[in-house]
Amino acid sequence: MKVNVQSVNFHADQKLINFIQARLDKLEHYYDRIVFADVYLKVQNTSDKENKVTEILLSIPGGDLIAKKTCKKFEECVDECVSTLQRQVLKKKEKMKVHA
C-alpha cells in the first residue's frame, strides 16, 4: 500500500513516517485490497496539551474510509486512527460478503 504523509506547519521526521507506515501496513492483514492511505498531520495553535491532529484517509474499492483524532502525541493519534480504521475495514468487508 502506498502511504502519503503530509505535515502541516512542521516537518515530520523519518522515524514518525516509518511508525505510520508500520501501523498502516497492519491493516493489510484485515483487507488486502487497500489502494493507498493519505495521512495529514497538523499541530493546532492552542494552549491545550492535546493539540496534535491526525487524519487518515484510506482508499479502498467502493469508497474511502476516514478517521480523525486529536491527542498529545502523533503516535497516540496514529494508533487510535488505525484501530478506528480497522473496525471500519472489517465492517465494510462484512457488508461486501453479505451482498456477494
If one counts the domains in the chain, the total is 1
pTM greater than the 0.85 cutoff: yes
pLDDT digits (tens, 9 = 90+) for 47-96: 888 899 999 999 998 889 999 999 999 999 999 999 999 999 999 988 88
- Here the CATH number for the domain that contains residue 42 is 3.30.160.100
Q: What's the domain range around 42?
A: 2-99
Q: In what helix (H) or strand (E) does residue 22 lie, and over which residues does it extend?
A: helix 14-25
The residue behind cell 475495514 is: 89
Burial 40-68 (b: 16+ CB within 10 A, else e): ebbeeeeeeeeebbbbbbbebeeeebebe
